[in-house]
Protein backbone atom coordinates (compact mmCIF):
# COMPACT_ATOMS: atom_id res chain seq x y z
CA UNK A 1 0.00 0.00 0.00
CA UNK A 2 1.41 3.34 -1.02
CA UNK A 3 1.49 6.20 1.47
CA UNK A 4 -0.40 9.32 0.41
CA UNK A 5 1.27 11.56 2.99
CA UNK A 6 3.53 14.05 1.28
CA UNK A 7 4.46 16.18 4.29
CA UNK A 8 8.15 16.86 4.78
CA UNK A 9 8.73 16.73 8.52
CA UNK A 10 11.81 17.85 10.39
CA UNK A 11 13.71 14.77 11.56
CA UNK A 12 16.07 17.04 13.53
CA UNK A 13 13.16 18.08 15.74
CA UNK A 14 11.85 14.64 16.66
CA UNK A 15 14.01 12.14 14.84
CA UNK A 16 15.30 8.91 16.31
CA UNK A 17 18.18 10.63 18.12
CA UNK A 18 15.90 13.15 19.82
CA UNK A 19 13.47 10.44 20.88
CA UNK A 20 16.23 8.22 22.25
CA UNK A 21 17.74 11.19 24.11
CA UNK A 22 14.35 12.00 25.64
CA UNK A 23 13.72 8.43 26.76
CA UNK A 24 17.23 8.03 28.18
CA UNK A 25 16.94 11.35 29.98
CA UNK A 26 13.66 10.30 31.61
CA UNK A 27 15.03 6.90 32.53
CA UNK A 28 18.26 8.22 34.01
CA UNK A 29 16.35 10.75 36.09
CA UNK A 30 14.18 8.03 37.61
CA UNK A 31 17.14 5.69 38.14
CA UNK A 32 19.24 8.45 39.69
CA UNK A 33 16.39 9.40 41.99
CA UNK A 34 16.04 5.86 43.34
CA UNK A 35 19.55 4.38 43.07
CA UNK A 36 22.06 7.27 42.96
CA UNK A 37 20.44 10.21 44.78
CA UNK A 38 23.68 12.21 44.65
CA UNK A 39 23.45 12.22 40.82
CA UNK A 40 19.81 13.31 40.64
CA UNK A 41 20.66 16.99 40.28
CA UNK A 42 22.98 16.28 37.31
CA UNK A 43 20.22 14.29 35.65
CA UNK A 44 17.71 17.08 36.26
CA UNK A 45 20.04 19.61 34.63
CA UNK A 46 20.46 17.45 31.52
CA UNK A 47 16.71 16.88 31.38
CA UNK A 48 16.06 20.62 31.71
CA UNK A 49 18.49 21.52 28.91
CA UNK A 50 16.98 18.91 26.57
CA UNK A 51 13.42 20.05 27.29
CA UNK A 52 14.30 23.72 26.93
CA UNK A 53 16.00 23.15 23.57
CA UNK A 54 12.98 21.19 22.29
CA UNK A 55 10.64 23.96 23.44
CA UNK A 56 12.71 26.67 21.74
CA UNK A 57 12.92 24.68 18.49
CA UNK A 58 9.17 24.02 18.52
CA UNK A 59 8.27 27.66 19.16
CA UNK A 60 10.71 28.74 16.44
CA UNK A 61 9.08 26.40 13.91
CA UNK A 62 5.60 27.61 14.89
CA UNK A 63 6.64 31.27 14.53
CA UNK A 64 8.35 30.49 11.21
CA UNK A 65 5.18 28.83 9.91
CA UNK A 66 6.95 25.55 9.16
CA UNK A 67 5.61 23.44 12.03
CA UNK A 68 3.35 20.51 11.28
CA UNK A 69 0.54 19.40 13.56
CA UNK A 70 2.24 16.09 14.31
CA UNK A 71 5.53 17.76 15.18
CA UNK A 72 3.99 20.11 17.71
CA UNK A 73 1.94 17.31 19.25
CA UNK A 74 5.03 15.10 19.67
CA UNK A 75 7.05 17.93 21.17
CA UNK A 76 4.36 18.66 23.76
CA UNK A 77 4.36 14.96 24.69
CA UNK A 78 8.16 14.80 24.95
CA UNK A 79 8.39 18.05 26.88
CA UNK A 80 5.62 17.29 29.31
CA UNK A 81 6.78 13.70 29.75
CA UNK A 82 10.24 14.56 30.99
CA UNK A 83 9.02 16.99 33.59
CA UNK A 84 6.04 14.93 34.57
CA UNK A 85 8.20 11.90 35.31
CA UNK A 86 10.19 13.73 37.95
CA UNK A 87 7.23 15.72 39.26
CA UNK A 88 5.42 12.47 40.02
CA UNK A 89 8.48 11.05 41.78
CA UNK A 90 8.70 14.04 44.11
CA UNK A 91 4.96 13.96 44.75
CA UNK A 92 4.90 10.28 45.68
CA UNK A 93 8.04 10.30 47.83
CA UNK A 94 8.81 12.54 50.81
CA UNK A 95 12.19 13.51 49.37
CA UNK A 96 12.28 16.73 47.40
CA UNK A 97 14.75 17.93 44.79
CA UNK A 98 16.24 20.43 47.22
CA UNK A 99 17.48 17.43 49.19
CA UNK A 100 19.73 16.63 46.23
CA UNK A 101 21.44 20.02 46.21
CA UNK A 102 18.94 21.79 43.97
CA UNK A 103 18.12 25.36 44.78
CA UNK A 104 14.78 27.11 44.90
CA UNK A 105 15.84 28.86 41.69
CA UNK A 106 16.32 25.49 39.96
CA UNK A 107 12.95 24.27 41.18
CA UNK A 108 11.32 27.46 39.89
CA UNK A 109 13.04 27.12 36.49
CA UNK A 110 11.82 23.53 36.12
CA UNK A 111 8.31 24.59 37.13
CA UNK A 112 8.33 27.46 34.62
CA UNK A 113 9.48 25.11 31.87
CA UNK A 114 6.65 22.71 32.67
CA UNK A 115 4.23 25.65 32.68
CA UNK A 116 5.50 26.71 29.24
CA UNK A 117 4.86 23.19 27.92
CA UNK A 118 1.37 23.21 29.44
CA UNK A 119 0.63 26.54 27.77
CA UNK A 120 1.96 25.23 24.45
CA UNK A 121 -0.18 22.13 24.84
CA UNK A 122 -3.31 24.18 25.58
CA UNK A 123 -2.60 26.43 22.61
CA UNK A 124 -2.12 23.38 20.42
CA UNK A 125 -5.39 21.68 21.40
CA UNK A 126 -7.54 24.81 21.29
CA UNK A 127 -6.03 26.64 18.33
CA UNK A 128 -2.85 25.19 16.86
CA UNK A 129 -4.12 21.84 15.61
CA UNK A 130 -6.50 23.69 13.30
CA UNK A 131 -4.03 26.41 12.33
CA UNK A 132 -0.92 24.33 11.63
CA UNK A 133 -0.04 22.50 8.43
CA UNK A 134 -0.63 18.77 8.16
CA UNK A 135 -2.84 15.98 9.40
Cα–Cα distances (Å) from 12 to 16, 49, 68, in that order, read: 9, 16, 13
Please check whether residue 9 is in contact with residue 70, taking contact to mean a CB–CB distance below 8 angstroms.
yes
**Average pLDDT for 54-73:** 87
pLDDT at 67 over 60: yes
Q: Is 66 exposed, middle or buried (0-12, 13-18, 19+ CB in 10 A)?
A: middle
**Average pLDDT for 73-92:** 66
pTM for the predicted model, two decimal places: 0.77
**In this predicted structure, what is the pLDDT of residue 3?**
56
3-state secondary structure of 68: strand
Amino acid sequence: MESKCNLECDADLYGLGVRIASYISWLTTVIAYHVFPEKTLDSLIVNFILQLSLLIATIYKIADGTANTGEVYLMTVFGAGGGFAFTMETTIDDRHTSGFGSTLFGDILRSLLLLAYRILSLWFWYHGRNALVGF
